[in-house]
Amino acid sequence: MGKTQPITETQARELQPGTLLDEFRIERKIGEGGMARLYLAVNLDGQYKVLKVPRQSYGIDPVCVVSLENEMRLAPYLEDFPHAHMPEARGAASGGYLVMDYIQGVDLLTHLRETGFLSEEEAVSLIRKIVLAMSELHQRRILHLDLKLSNVMITSDGNVRLVDFGLANHLDLPDLIYESFPEPKGTPAYIAPEQFIGVRDDPRSDIFSIGTMLYEMTTGKLPFPDARTEWGVVQRIRSGVTPPRKYNPAFSGAFEFLVLNCLRTNPDERFNSMEELYETLGLWEQEIPIQGIVKFAPKDEAPPERPSVTAALKRVSRLIPRIWEKNRDDFERLKRWADDRVKSEKERPFRVLVAIDLGQDASSRELNERVVRHAIDLARGRHSFITVMTAVTEDTGLAGPEKEMKVYNEACIRARKAIKGLIGAAGGDGSPVGINVRQGDVVEAVNGCIRDYKADLLVVGGSRRGALSRFILGSTAYKILTSVRCNVYVVH
């Protein structure tokens, strides 16, 4: 038995078997990702639990820090969700860690590496369980947004469990991931095209990832290669998907249709919802000769009448003709789709952006606190989102790109912590306040945030003395005030 350690120490180094962390005794490490270590532990009642403990070492990607923060923030909404791991956040204010039920099983990636590809029927039956879990998740207004084989576990009794909610988005909360990094996050080969252009609130993005999983499970290949740049995504869309039957002619036409339908570029052309997909997958279990039902036929050739499936097919058959549509201009169309969607938003939140200069002295801290408090007051009483931003400019001298990235990551994590402290001090802990730390020129960073968040109001601090005088009275402030395209509120 070891001594109980304070959490900050545990974040720095690995926990050894026997170490006590609150009421848990560490048994062994069971996993290690970029951002966290997972330990199997036993609680006072002798129950096995999994602890996900952040590795708060500086130099790691800030996305890792924020995604664990996000997962901990969503834990209360998943505590009673049977298809996940009943997470519970501990000591969130101090960095904390996540406690989850121990899932006895393996993740699907490992599982499939052992068992090999699945047949159409096996894949449909497995994916249907995942789709059911996802439909219940969507009913809770939570999107997963990072669905992939390694984030789904299969238990010894054949049930599925969703793990890793680091990039998830609760539709009734501000999106912490987007607030922090408007550029796309997720696993490039799995995520939907709209996720590349910053859309993170459409449930059909998860349907796309289901399509990717289904494709991979049955063909052993990914439908799209990794795309990391916008150009890569355009290429990905242009080249289209190789139909699964090219790899295995034994797949039914219905199966191919189903997979390709999930993978459509335009979300409007995919299955509408997890429920619709679930129902369609149910056709395989009804022992109907599906082969003959959905044909890749010209649009005027009606599918044969079969009373038990007519209703389901009516819904999906409206999409069949579109499958041959050319992909060429799909990306441009997708961008228009995303723009139209923003325009038609009925209840767009009032977006407040707070620009902070993280000066070192006490007077600038005091002013910053006042600025944040003011922003919270200005936003009160209406549906609004606040993002507090700052820009870090680190002089990395002649350092190489790797060192530069490390220095930037460290500065970014330090700045996030400082802003978090400010929000807490300004009484905004319970409010929906996001944090965004950008690199480089302040004026560009502020304007970038205004554009990305479509901010309605910019709040800045102004003082005649101290570190901020540069910011508000100097040339930087002048450039900000004269270049921004939204209302500005200056707090003195």
Query: Which stretches of the chain bind ligand ADP, using CB under 6 A?
Result: 31, 33, 35-36, 38, 50, 85, 100-103, 107, 150-151, 153, 163-164, 166
Which one of the spans 12-20, 162-170, 281-289, 299-307 is the region binding Mg ion (CB under 5 A)? 162-170
Pairing type for strands 160-162 and 169-170 reads unpaired
How near is the Cβ of 180 to ligand ADP at its closest, in Å?
Answer: 16
- The entry of ligand ADP, Mg ion, none that residue 50 binds, CB within 5 to 8 Å by partner kind: ligand ADP
Q: Which residue's beta carbon is nearest to the bound Mg ion?
A: 164
How near is the Cβ of 213 to Mg ion at its closest, in Å?
Answer: 14
Residue whose token pair is 């939140």: 349
Nearer to ligand ADP, 42 or 197 (CB): 42
209 makes contact with Mg ion (CB under 5 A): no
Nearer to Mg ion, 164 or 330 (CB): 164
How near is the Cβ of 467 to Mg ion at its closest, in Å?
Answer: 41
Nearer to Mg ion, 164 or 202 (CB): 164
Nearer to ligand ADP, 50 or 491 (CB): 50
Residue whose token pair is 């539709």: 171
Beta bridge partners of 28: 40
How near is the Cβ of 414 to ligand ADP at its closest, in Å?
Answer: 23
265 makes contact with Mg ion (CB under 5 A): no
What are the b/e assignments for 208-242, b being 16+ CB within 10 Å? bbbbbbbbbbbbeebbbeebeeeeebbebbeebbe
Pairing type for strands 152-155 and 160-162 reads antiparallel
Nearer to ligand ADP, 57 or 310 (CB): 57
Pairing type for strands 24-32 and 36-42 reads antiparallel
164 makes contact with Mg ion (CB under 5 A): yes
Distance, in Å, from the CA atom of 213 to the CA atom of 204, rounded to the nearest integer, reads 14
- In whole angstroms, what separates CA 169 from the centre of its chain? 6
Residues found in the chain = 492
Phi-psi region of 143 (alpha: psi -120 to 50; beta: other; left: phi over 0): beta
Binding mask of the shown chain, residues 126 to 155, with x at each position contacting Mg ion by CB under 5 A: -------------------------x----
List of residues 6+ apart from 224 with CB closer than 8 A: 189, 212, 236, 241
Q: Are 461 and 455 in contact (CB under 8 A)?
A: no
How near is the Cβ of 444 to Mg ion at its closest, in Å?
Answer: 33
- The entry of ligand ADP, Mg ion, none that residue 103 binds, CB within 5 to 8 Å by partner kind: ligand ADP
Nearer to Mg ion, 208 or 284 (CB): 208
How near is the Cβ of 191 to Mg ion at its closest, in Å?
Answer: 14
Nearer to Mg ion, 164 or 452 (CB): 164
How near is the Cβ of 31 to Mg ion at its closest, in Å?
Answer: 9
List of residues 6+ apart from 343 with CB closer than 8 A: none
Distance, in Å, from the CA atom of 39 to the CA atom of 5, rounded to the nearest integer, reads 15
How many of the chain's residues bind Mg ion (CB under 5 A)? 2
Q: Are 203 and 192 in contact (CB under 8 A)?
A: no
Positions touching Mg ion (CB under 5 A) are 151, 164
